[in-house]
Every structure is written in C-alpha cells, then in structure tokens.
Amino acid sequence: MNKCELHDVSVQFGSHFALQDVSFQVRSAERVAFIGPSGAGKTSLFRLIHGVLSPTSGQVIIDETDVSHFSSRQWRPLRCEIGWIPQGFGLVPNLRVLHNVLAGRLGRMNSFQAARMFLVPNAKETAAVHHLLDRVGIAEKLYQRTDRLSAGQQQRVAIARALYQMPSLLLADEPVSNVDPARAEATLDLLCNVATEERITLCMSLHNLHLAKRYFERLIGIRRGRVIFDLPASDFNSEEYRQLYELDDAELLSDSYGD
Amino acid sequence: MPYRSPWPMPVGKIIITTVIIFGWAWWQLGLSIEQAIPNAGGLAKCQEFLGAAVAPAWTYESTPPSNSPFFLTKVGIAIWQTIVFSVAAVSLAFVIGLVWGITMSATWWGTNHVPQNAGRFKYRRTTVWLVVHLMRTVSALARSVHELLWAVLFLSAVGLSPLTVILAIGIPYSGVFAKIFSEIIDETPKQSADALHAIGATRWTVLVHGILPKAIPDMLAYTCYRFECGLRSAAVMGFFGIPTLGYYLQPAFEEQHYHETWTYLYALMAILIGVELWSAQVRRRLAT
C-alpha cells in the first residue's frame, strides 16, 4: 500500500455528521498527526481508513482503488496491511504477551494456521516476537499474562502486535492520552523511529500540540467533523491553535463525545 | 419537596403489586398452617427419621440377600455411578451447548459488528434474525421440558437405558448451556475482537482468538455449577431404575431403613460439597 486518499467524505449517523466533506491525501512513509478536541471525528476517520465504517458520501481511495463500498471480504487483504493501535489497546487480558503479539498476523492466516500458531508457536515465531518485545523494551515479559502488566507495558504489547503484523500503514488512536509526559515522549520516539526505519506510513491522533509539532511533519486539524487546517508542522501557529481548541458551550456539552 | 426514592422506578407500585400477587397465590391454594402439622403417627415417623440422622448406617439394617456386597461398598458404587452419569451427561451437554451457544450469539452473526450506517446489510440482518430466533426457540423448548419429563418420555418410548438417561439430562442441559454460553459470549468486552477484526482476521478467528479466551473461564465456572446440578439429577434418575444414589435411596426409605437412608443422603451431600470445593478452586484459578 502506498497512499491513501479521502475525497469529500461524509459520515452520517441519523442527522448527525461524524465527518463532513473531509478531503486529504497521505503519501507513502509520511508521518501525519490528526489533532482536535474529543468527539471531533478522529476515531471515525481511522475507522473509515480500515473499512470498519463506510462513508455515507464521498470516496476513500487506497492505491488508486476506490474502496468506499468494499465488502468485508474485499477489505480483508487491505486490512492486513494496516496496523491499528486502538485507544484501549484491544489486547486479550488473560492470554500471554506472546500470544497477544502473535495475533498481529491473524489476518494473513486461515483458521488452521491460526490455531497452530496459538497452540504451538514455533521457534521462529517466538524469536520474532521476542525480538520485537526487546525493541519496545519489555522482552522479559514474553510469557507473562497480559493483564498483569502496567498500562504503559500493555501499550507496548499493542505496539509490538502492530509491528509483528508488518503493516505498511500504521494508525494509532491517541496512544499517549493516558500516560505521563516522559512516557508519552518515549512512546512517540519509539513509534516514529520504527515508522522511519521500516518506511511505514504513520497516522496518529493526538491532543498534545507540542508533541505533534515535534514529532510529525504534517498536522491535520479536525473539529466538528471537518478538516480546518492541513499544514506542515513548521507553519503551525497560534491562530490555528485558537481555531482548533476554542470550543463553544454547545461543543463542550455535546454528547457526541468519543463516537 | 416530594420524597424521591434512590431508584428512578415506581418502587411503591412494585412492592404493592408483589404483595398482592403473593397473597392471591396463597389464597388460591387455600393454604393453612394445619396442613404442615403432622398427626400423632406422622410425628412419630418424623422423630424416628430425624433421629436416624445422627446415626447413619455403616452396615445393613436387616439381613440382606446372601450374595449382597458390603453395605459401604454398595454406597461407594452408588456414588461412583452418580458421578459417572453426571459427567457423561454434562460433558455431552457442554459440547452441544458450546456449538449451539456460539451459533445463537449475536457476536457470531456479527450483528453488533455491522457499521450502523451500512444499508447493504439490511437483507442479511433479516435472515440472521430469523436464524438466531429459531435457534433460541429450540433452545427454550429443550429447556422448558424438565429432565424428569424427558426421562418419562424416553421411558415410555424406548425404555430406560444408560444412554436414554444421559439424553434425558443432556437435552435440557444443552439448551441451558446454549443460552448461558451465548449470553457470556455476547457480554464479553469486544475491544480485542474489534482490534482483530480491524487487522483483517476472519469472523471465526476473531471469535476463537479475540472472544473465547476471555469467555472460557466464565463458561467453565458455569459448567462446574451445572455439574453439581447434574449430580442431583443423576441421583434422582435412580428412581427410574438407573443404579445411581436414588436407586438405593428409594427402597431404603420405603422399607423404613432410615439409618441407611441417611447414609445415602450424606453420601450425596458429600459429593456436592466436594464438587463445590473443587469448583471454587477452579474458579479462583481461572479468575487470576
């Protein structure tokens, strides 16, 4: 997968627009931060890019192919190429770390291969997972039960799972919203380094503008389901900040929070 | 300020309705306290029976036929048979209930995975609704006939054999397992399932690797409880002539061998307590 484009995409739930006339293009190996208040539509955007949500109108184009109305079956091979780190990590709490990371490749397997991999992971698979865990800094947790790990460590498991998948595009939904500043920087260092080394396109939603400016080459601001700016990080200034975060009362009290 | 109860419900109405229904049922049955007071002869029987509780029998109360085994050997065999029947019936019901429960869960059919705004799923939704509700109806039918009624049905149709007893217990239990397992699957948090779905896993792989690992501890805990119920059912099936505890309990009671009766009752209690202790340990180990 090389690039991903949205053309005038709207997503509507009843009379509420989660996204409205959104257009942008992400090139291969680009690092883009999506910033905006809670409930602005960032998660919907990511769900659109891996086909869990389909647009009400407009087009989602991946590598010159219009995937807006792909069926689940048509989406599967594409989804295998798209890594996903959800906000709650989406790990199975009572499995070992090893098995949670192995799950990253489930998309490329049939049921029998998947069952074999879970029950008797071979030496090569175990070594690959161990290597990735080493890279994210928790190699010694390989055989631990996942819910025994701290939130920060669990996040690293989720990152390792996404890397084991070997995606060409990695989507991360607010990976640093619940961690302290030092950990946030460590996580962003890790994700950005990996993305650069493996030439993975990285799209991340963030609240923290300073971090966004420091780690990303391009910032896309989203508010009330619309793109309000799309700039190189160096051009970002206080005017855009004001546009993005000066919420009116209606937005502050809106119940579309986190849709 | 008018009084407001802590629950946003019409609490007063609920209490009054409950009391009225309760009173109506008692009045319908014409219950009076005398019905529970035994006459002199009955009272003596009661005393004799309850008195025997402190001294369960260790040997036969009257001389048994010449080739009978030791009394305690017989109790041991009865316990063993009760356990064997229960294990056979519950494990059969577990397997059927697991497959059935998966197929009647909303999670399996993906009705809670379908994007809210996707119109093309409408036709599929109707079909799925029909299939799921058919499965649920069949499960409700299997459950609504008690295992004793199934036993009576089998008894009159083909006569009772170990297989028919296991089916009599297994059929309603499969229905119960199906219902409970489908609920457990549907109530399991879906974050990991969604994450696996998002990276291209098939419906089956999502279920097996994203949902079942979390659901299985709850399912096993429930199975332990059902195993306990199975022991009671298997014991009662003895009344139909299957060599479990009930088979020996009934004649002992009828011949007024109350000390023997208590031995069988204590044996049943001992198994149930044993299973309870064991299942508590299983549950504790699964939970952590």
The per-residue pLDDT for range B156-194, each reduced to its tens digit, is 888 878 898 999 999 999 999 999 999 999 999 888 999
Alpha-carbon A11 to chain mean position: 19
Q: How many domains does chain B have?
A: 1
Number of Cβ atoms within 10 Å of the Cβ of A228 = 14
pLDDT tens digit string along B106-119?
888 875 554 444 44
Q: Which of A166, A194, A217 is the last residue of a domain?
A: A166
Query: Is A41 in CB contact (< 8 Å) with chain B?
Result: no
Q: Which helix (H) or strand (E) holds B104?
A: none
Instruction: Please say if the pLDDT value at position B288 is more than 70.
Output: no
Q: What pLDDT, on the 0 to 100 scale, is given for residue A216?
A: 92
Say whether A5 sits in a helix, a strand or coil. strand
> Cα(first)–Cα(last) distance of chain A, in Å?
27
Q: Is residue A256 part of a domain?
A: yes
In this structure, are A147 and A173 located in the same domain?
Answer: no
pLDDT-based confidence at residue B219 (cuts at 50, 70, 90): very high
Regarding beta strands A57-62 and A65-66, do their DSSP bridges make them parallel or antiparallel, or are they unpaired?
antiparallel
Of A145, A166, A187, which closes a domain? A166
How far is the alpha carbon of A94 from chain B, nearest alpha carbon, in Å?
Answer: 6
Chain B contact present for A169, CB below 8 A: no
B219 at A interface, C-beta within 8 A: no
**In A, which residues are within 8 Å of B213 by CB distance?**
92, 94-95
Cβ of residue B112 closer than 8 Å to a chain A Cβ? no
In-domain check, residue B19:
no
Chain A residue with Cα closest to B215: A94
Q: Is the pLDDT of residue B4 over 90?
A: no
Interface ipTM: 0.88
Which of B121-125, B230-234, B264-268 has the least mean pLDDT? B121-125
Residue A14 lies in a domain: yes
A54 touches chain B (CB under 8 A): yes
Q: Are residues A203 and A238 in the same domain?
A: yes
pLDDT at B115: 47
- Count chain A–chain B contacts defined by CB atoms under 8 A: 87
For residue B170, give every residue at least 6 positions away whose Cβ sits within 8 Å of its Cβ, in sequence order, or none.
Answer: B89, B90, B92, B93, B96
Whole-number average pLDDT of chain B: 87
Domain count, chain A: 2
- Same structural domain, A23 and A138: no
| Chain B residues touching residue A93 (CB < 8 angstroms) | 192, 214
The share of chain B scoring above pLDDT 90, in percent, equals 41
B220 to chain A, any CB pair closer than 8 A? The answer is no
| DSSP codes, A63-74 | TTEE-TT--HHH
**Would B25 be classed as within a structural domain?**
no
pLDDT at A245: 74
The tens digit of pLDDT for each residue in A180-218 reads 888 889 889 999 999 999 899 999 998 888 888 889 989
Residues of chain A scoring pLDDT < 70: 1, 247-259
- Here the CATH number for the domain that contains residue A17 is 3.40.50.300
- CA-CA distance, B266 to A135, in Å (whole number)? 61
d(CA B139, CA B97): 9
**B118 at interface of A, judged by CB pairs closer than 8 A:** yes
pLDDT tens digits, B79-129 = 999 999 999 999 999 999 999 999 888 888 875 554 444 444 556 677 878
Identify which has the larger pLDDT, B132 or B223: B223
Q: What is the extent of the structural domain holding B113?
A: 71-287
Q: Do A80 and B200 touch (CB under 8 A)?
A: yes
Question: Do A63 and A107 fall into the same domain?
Answer: no
Tell me whether residue A123 is in a domain.
yes
Cβ–Cβ gap B194/A86 under 8 Å: yes
CB-based contact A79 B210, cutoff 8 Å? no
- Helix, strand or coil for residue B85? helix
Q: Does A86 contact B195 at a Cβ distance shorter than 8 Å?
A: yes
Q: Residue A103 to residues A125, A157, B2, B71: CA-CA distances in angstroms?
A: 11, 11, 57, 57
pLDDT given at position A247? 66
Nearest residue of A to residue B212, measured between CA atoms: A92
In which domain, by residue range, is A160 found?
A: 91-166
* Boundary-marking domain end, from A116, A135, A166: A166
Do A162 and A184 lie in one domain? The reply is no
- Is B61 a member of any domain? no
Claim to verify: residue A176 and residue A162 sit in the same structural domain:
no
Domain match, A18 and A76 both: yes
Instruction: Determine contact: B192 vs chain A, CB below 8 A.
Output: yes
Residues A42 and A103 in one domain: no
